Amino acid sequence: MFDIGFFEMLVVGTIALMVLGPERLPEAVVKTGRMIGQIKRQVRQFTVEIEREVNTKEIKEKLKQTRYEVGVDQMPTFSEFIEKDSLSHRFDSAERLQEKRG
């Protein structure tokens, strides 16, 4: 990830030992490890969400293209269909009522 060799890690460890001392060094190593793990998880989650968003956008574009090719865009929506159906049903009911009366 950072391309750090053994010598570089040895130098960093020696400096950390001199700065922090032997009492606080283990605690600092644990905290650093947890922080690096948390950063990795957040980066992974961010990457997954970006990939999911890109996939969703691609799927929507494919669906839009397919709907256009099939001609579904010219078809009424479900609510329009129900509205038209209920209007025709009312009209048919009114015609039947007129026939019974007349």
User: Would the pLDDT of 87 be above 80?
Assistant: no
Tokens of 65: 């293209």
Would 40 be classed as within a structural domain?
no
Split into its structural domains, the chain has a count of: 1
**Residue 80 falls inside a structural domain:** yes
Phi-psi region of 101 (alpha: psi -120 to 50; beta: other; left: phi over 0): alpha
- Asked if residue 98 is part of any domain, the answer here is yes
Please give the pLDDT value at position 40. 94
Residue 86 falls inside a structural domain:
yes
92 domain-assigned: yes
Does the predicted TM-score (pTM) go above 0.85? no
pLDDT in tens, 36-85: 999 999 999 999 999 888 888 888 888 888 877 777 666 666 666 656 55
- Is 5 a member of any domain? no
Instruction: Dump the DSSP string for 4-63.
Output: --HHHHHHHHHHHHHHHHHHHHHHHHHHHHHHHHHHHHHHHHHHHHHHHHHHHHHHHHHH
Answer whether 42's CB lies under 8 Å from 30's CB.
Answer: no
Range of the domain at 90: 76-102
Q: Establish if 83 belongs to a structural domain.
A: yes
Looking at the domain assignment, is residue 41 inside a domain? no
